[in-house]
Structure formats: structure tokens, C-alpha cells
Amino acid sequence: MGEKKYLRKSLLVCFIAGMFVLGVANHGVEAKRKPVLSCKKFVLKVGQKKKMWMKNTSQKVKWSSRNKRIASVNKRGIVTGKKVGKTQIIARVRKKKYICSVQVKENKKMVAITATPVVENPKQTVIPAISEKTEAPMVTLAPVESVETEVPITTQAPSSTPAVVGSDEPTAAPKVSLTPEQKEWEEQKNNGSKEAFEKYFNPDMKKYTKKQEGVTLGKIESISYHSEIVGADREAYVYLPPEYDASKQYPVLYMIHGIGCDRSQWKYLSINNILSNMIFSGELKPLIAILPSVVPKDGLTEGNSLSQENIEAYNLFEKEFLTDLEPYVRKNYGISEKREDTGVCGLSMGGMEALRLGFGIKDHFNYIGSFSAAPSLDMDILNLDGCSYQPETVLLCSGDKDTTIGNNPLNYHQRLMDNQVDHMWYYYPGGTHEDKVWKNGLVNFLSRSFK
């Protein structure tokens, strides 16, 4: 069988498996559980924002406010406190509506900033942190070129606590001065809009998936290692960059496939071309990629690709990774053991597993990529509790027409927002549960990692 035919057959099997295991399961959950608002009441201060969402549904939600002068809400469910008072935020799903009570209180720490502010002691000027585009009427941010008095504007992302400019007081996060371009990126990097996708997440994929002139491809070799956790020998592919030198230490990326598939899925998604082209162009450091097979002990067969044993293989993989796989590749290849040189990514069930590894094994991964993630993750781990650092890259994406994974990874994105974990999230317009979404996600992930 030719390689292209094998690829098409492999992708079709994985897609059907994903549709059955994830789509049908997710549909069953929605049928049993009624939609519910993320909260029924909360308090905001003027100028503050809070993200709301609907749980247990993948249906489109229409948001509105009974009094926009007190609190407004945009189409993404972000509520902004406008002035002191009480109102209600309404979420409509089909013909039903769900109501949340909102009280807006005075924000005494906010100050007005005019186009030409006059400040006697700018070191003591209190300016609210800018985590999203400010809509509060008390604050008017003038364009940089029109500000005559030099008043530094800072942000403490992702906290909403005001920062005191020039103060020696300790703060929750380091102060960061943002250029207009940086402010726009902070607003666009996880709002899920088509405009954000076109501007920031839509590279010419042919430059990556097709071998470019002058590019030397890396080498993909097969390995076998014994797993004490599974009690069997396991297989994986290893991508080695061009001119690989075993005496050097390279960054490492672990790439996890979807349910019903094995290590071959990533191999046949143009992985050699993508990695080698990006290394050649200088967009990516030379690295080693590990493509394990997350499958049952006895392997994938026609009769068990959708079985509980196959799902259990993912549940065991964290232990298998730490006990068997990672020690093996570190022993046999020139791989850096530093956290800042280690990344993990995956698609579908592998996208869920990438998040579980990335946030479950604290202080281990610096780069986490999750593409069309399955909905089976325990979201309580999506935080930085116990971490001594913020991962440099956390990226989530999916097609906006993907009915296989339901309301994911939107739910994961919203939990990361709640837990103030800096990350990127976007929709691929018109994308379903398919390879073009995963290739696009991989390129966007790699272009922002291993720098």
C-alpha cells in the first residue's frame, strides 16, 4: 500500500474513532445534563471584567445585559463593570434564557487619564492593570504620540489588581510596559475571532508542509523500549534533525497522537517536512521529536481500537512517560534535561493528554500545545499552583466546525483564563476534526516555542 493511501486510511480510522468515542460520548453527556451558567451572581468593580460561559452545551450562546450602562457584555461573554449599580446578564441558548445577577461597586483606585495629563508626582500615579481592552468610561487612554507628559503606563498581566507606577511595594506580577502592537496582541491572542486568526494564526502552510528548496530533511527512526508500567515492549518514532550530533544536547518535543491511532499518525502528517523546513529557515532550533504509541498492552487491532483498554492506555501514559519513555530517550539520545528545553503537544485525545502532562507534571514542560483536545480532562489541574514558573508557550486551538469534541477546547481556555494562566487560543475558521487544523496548530505552536 502506498504511503498516501496508508495516510488516508489511517486518518479515516482515527477520525471515525474520534467521532464515535468523543462525539457520541459528548452528545450523551449533553443529553443527560442541562446547560447551566458558569455563575449565577457576582460582584465587579467599575472597570473590572469577568468571563462567563455556558456549561454542558456546544450550542451558540447569545449574551445581553439588561442595563448596559451598569455592566456590558460582549459576544464572548466578557462582562465589564461600567458604573455603580445592579443589573442582570442574560445568556440565551436557543429559546431558553439563563440569568446572572451582577452588582457593580465603586473602584476607588481608578483615576482618569486625559490626553495631556498633568501629574506632579508620576511615581505615585495609580493606573489599573490592562488585561484586556479597557471600556470603562473613567479611563481614556490617549494614543502614544499624543501624550505630552511622560507618564509610564504599565500592566500586571494577568492580574486585575492596580499597579502603583514607580512604587517599591511588591506586586503579584512583574510590571510590563506594552507597545501598541503588544497591547493589540494581548487583546487578540485568545479571543477566538476570525480577525485574530487571519492576522496572527494563518501562515502559508505550503511553506511548511511541502519540502522547500535546499532543505535537508531530518531522519525518522524507529525505537523499541520496555515499559514496566504497561508490562510490555513499546514502540516510538524519533525525529532527529539534519546533522544530528549525539555529543550535543538538543531540545525535545513529545508528540502524542489521537485515539484509535498510533505513532504513525504524526509521522504521516508531514512532520519531517514541517520540522526540517522550520529548522532550515531559522524559525525553530534543531530539536529531537519523540512520537510514542499510546496504545493498549497488546496493541491496536480491529476489535479493540475503541475499547476501554485503548482509553486506559492514555490514563497510564503519564506514569509510562516518567518511568519508561523519558528515561530511555535521555539515555540513548543527546537530549537536554532542562525544563526550558522540553515541550509536549498532541491532537484530539493526544491534545487532552498533552494538557494532562503539561499541567499534571509541575515544573517539567516549558511548551504545551493542544490541538482539538478531547473533553475528558480533569480541568482542576489547569493551574500553576505549585509551579515556580509560567510555561513560555501554552497554545490551544480547534476548528470552529468541529462537532467531535463539543465545547472543547473552549472550556479549557476559559478555565485557564479563570486561573490566570497566560496562553493562546484560537478557532480555525471552517475547520472540523481534521489534519489541516492540527498541522496549522503545530506550526503556530512551534513558531512560538524553543527560542
In this structure, the number of other CB atoms found within 10 A of the CB of residue 261 comes to 27
Q: Considering the chain, what is the average pLDDT of its residues?
A: 81
Q: What is the pLDDT of residue 384?
A: 94
Please state whether beta strands 393-399 and 367-371 pair in parallel, antiparallel, or not at all (unpaired): parallel
Q: State the pLDDT confidence band at 8, using cuts at 50, 70 and 90.
A: low
Q: What is the pLDDT of residue 323?
A: 96
Higher pLDDT, 161 or 98: 98
Q: Can you tell me the mean pLDDT for 11-28?
A: 48
Q: What is the pLDDT of residue 31?
A: 41
Helix axes 271-281, 435-447, angle to 10 degrees: 30
**Cis-peptide, bond into residue 143, ω within 30° of zero:** no
Greatest mean pLDDT among 71-80, 131-140, 222-231 lies in: 222-231
Q: State the pLDDT confidence band at 263, using cuts at 50, 70 and 90.
A: very high
Check pLDDT > 60 for residue 289: yes
Rounded Cα gap, residues 159 and 73, in angstroms: 20
86 strand-pairing partners? 103
Check pLDDT > 60 for residue 280: yes
Check pLDDT > 80 for residue 44: yes
Over residues 309-332, the pLDDT tens digits come to: 889 999 999 999 999 999 999 999
Give which of 66, 70, 65 is closest to 46, Cα–Cα.
70
Enter the pTM of the model: 0.66
Give which of 434, 436, 448, 435 is closest to 425, Cα–Cα.
448
Residue-wise DSSP of 162-217: -EETT--S--SS--B---HHHHHHHHHTTS--HHHHHHHS---THHHHSPPTTPPP
Q: What is the pLDDT of residue 155?
A: 32
Report CA-CA distances (Å) from 231 to 120, 297, 298.
Answer: 72, 7, 10
**Which range, of 82-86, 209-213, 341-345, averages the lowest pLDDT?**
82-86
Element (H, E) at 295: none
Q: Can you tell me the mean pLDDT for 349-356?
A: 97
Residue-wise DSSP of 371-416: ES--S---GGG-S-TT-SS--SEEEEEEETT--SSTTTTHHHHHHH
Rounded Cα gap, residues 404 and 395, in angstroms: 20
Q: What is the pLDDT of residue 440?
A: 98
Q: What is the pLDDT of residue 175?
A: 59
Residue-wise DSSP of 110-147: -----SS---S-GGG-EE---SS----TT--PPPGGG-
Check pLDDT > 50 for residue 84: yes
Over residues 180-207, the pLDDT tens digits come to: 999 999 999 999 999 999 999 999 999 9
Q: Dihedrals φ, ψ of 378, to 5°?
A: -75, 105
Q: Which amino acid is at 42?
A: F
Over residues 203-235, the pLDDT tens digits come to: 999 999 999 999 999 999 999 999 999 999 999
Give which of 377, 379, 450, 367 is closest to 414, Cα–Cα.
379
Check pLDDT > 80 for residue 299: yes
Over residues 410-443, the pLDDT tens digits come to: 999 999 999 999 999 999 999 999 999 999 999 9
Q: What is the pLDDT of residue 25?
A: 44
Over residues 370-389, the pLDDT tens digits come to: 999 999 999 999 999 988 89
Going across the sheet that includes 232-240, the strands are: 219-227, 232-240, 288-292, 252-256, 342-347, 367-371, 393-399, 424-428
Check pLDDT > 60 for residue 247: yes
